[in-house]
Structure 1
Amino acid sequence: MTFVAAYWWKTKPGCETQFREAWRQGTGLIRERYGSLGSRLHYDQQGRFVGVAEWPNRATWQRAFDAKMVYDDPIVRSAFLDALEDRAEEPFLLMEVCDDLLDR
């Protein structure tokens, strides 16, 4: 059963493109190093970006979380953090997928 973790970030004005590019690169790095299945980035009505990352199971996510999962490339990490105004320190949702009707 797959597992999802959701995070949110608010960017500094004018840093949206920088953030999105760093998020795309960082998501690829997390997939390669920690075994995620990827993520989707959304923009909510409160002006925050919301990432919903999918994992093969909770145990894989937990191992990555316990290892202090970060974007390991210092340039990508710096671009990501420099674009931020505010963020959730922890995931704000952790959920088991029980029924999945998304077209892939």
Structure 2
Amino acid sequence: MFIVMFEFVVKEGFEEQFLASWPKATQGIYLFKGSLGSRLHRDKSGAYIAYAQWPSEETYRKAADIEMSAEYELHRQNMRDSLNLKSTRTLHEMEVEIDYLHRREFEV
């Protein structure tokens, strides 16, 4: 599994647009481009940090060449329009070494 972490820098006054468009843009990336999903976080300083999972680095790299439906491309464009793209950056690209993230309780 391949993981990419982003720091999104939202333009002043565009937080609502960003938060409305991010889930739909992410859903489109999942449906059309093969991601395994993503989580959006907000750190204590107010920065938006996203953690995206991909089945492989190859799938992640090829995703840039895959177009989504017009509806999802519009959500993606709305998200991009809400960002300061010069300051938005990729924080990390990494392989999963050990995966112990679960949605159910652990048996002890």
Q: TM-score, normalised by structure 1?
A: 0.80
- The 1-side partners of 2:100 and 2:35 are apart by 20
1:53 is displaced (CA, Å) by 0.5
- The 2-side partners of 1:48 and 1:101 are apart by 26
- Percent same amino acid at aligned positions? 33
Letter of the structure 2 residue corresponding to residue 103 of structure 1 = H
Question: Larger Cα Rg: Structure 1 or Structure 2?
Answer: 2
Change (3 A) 1:35 1:74: closer
Change (3 A) 1:8 1:15: same
Equivalent residue of 2:31, what SS?
helix
1:51 is displaced (CA, Å) by 0.9
2:40 is aligned to 41
- The 2-side partners of 1:8 and 1:71 are apart by 25
Equivalent residue of 2:3, what SS?
strand
Runs ≥4 in structure 1, deviation > 6 angstroms? 68-71
2:97 is aligned to 98
2:106 is aligned to none
Letter of the structure 1 residue corresponding to residue 45 of structure 2 = Q
1:31 is displaced (CA, Å) by 0.8
Task: Kindly tell me the number of residue pairs found equivalent between the two proteins.
Answer: 100
Which sections of structure 1, spanning at least 5 residues, go unmatched? none
Which sections of structure 2, spanning at least 5 residues, go unmatched? 104-108
Considering only aligned residues, what root-mean-square deviation do their CA atoms show, in Å? Answer: 2.3
